[in-house]
Amino acid sequence: MKLKNGDGSLAVSFGNVLTMIVMICSVAVVYGSINTRVEAVEINLQLKADRELIETHLEYIAQQIEEIKNSLNELNKRRK
C-alpha cells in the first residue's frame, strides 16, 4: 500500500481505496452501535426512575390511608 510513487506523485490503488472504505464503514458501524446502546440505557434509566417515583407515591398514599384508618377507628371508639 503505497501513498507515493517513486517520482513523488500520489499513488491511489484499489487496495488504498478499499482500506479507506472499510475503515469508514467500521467507524460508522461502531458509532451506530454506541448510539443504540446509549439510547437503550437512557430508556432503561427513565423506566427505573418512573418506577421509583410511582413506588414513592404509593408508599405516601398507603401512609395516608393508614392515618385515615386510625382516625376513623378513634372516632368510632369515641362514639361508643
Give the pLDDT confidence score for residue 15 in this predicted structure: 80
pLDDT above 80: residue 80: no
Backbone angles phi, psi at 4, to 5 degrees: -135, 145
pLDDT above 70: residue 77: yes
**Residue given cell 500520489 in the structure block:** 10
| Nearest to 16, CA basis, from 26, 3, 29 | 3
What is this structure's pTM?
0.46
Mean pLDDT of 20-47: 89
Give the pLDDT confidence score for residue 3 in this predicted structure: 61
Q: Cβ contacts of residue 12 below 8 Å, gap of 6+?
A: none
d(CA 64, CA 26): 57
d(CA 22, CA 25): 5
In three-state secondary structure terms, 8 is coil
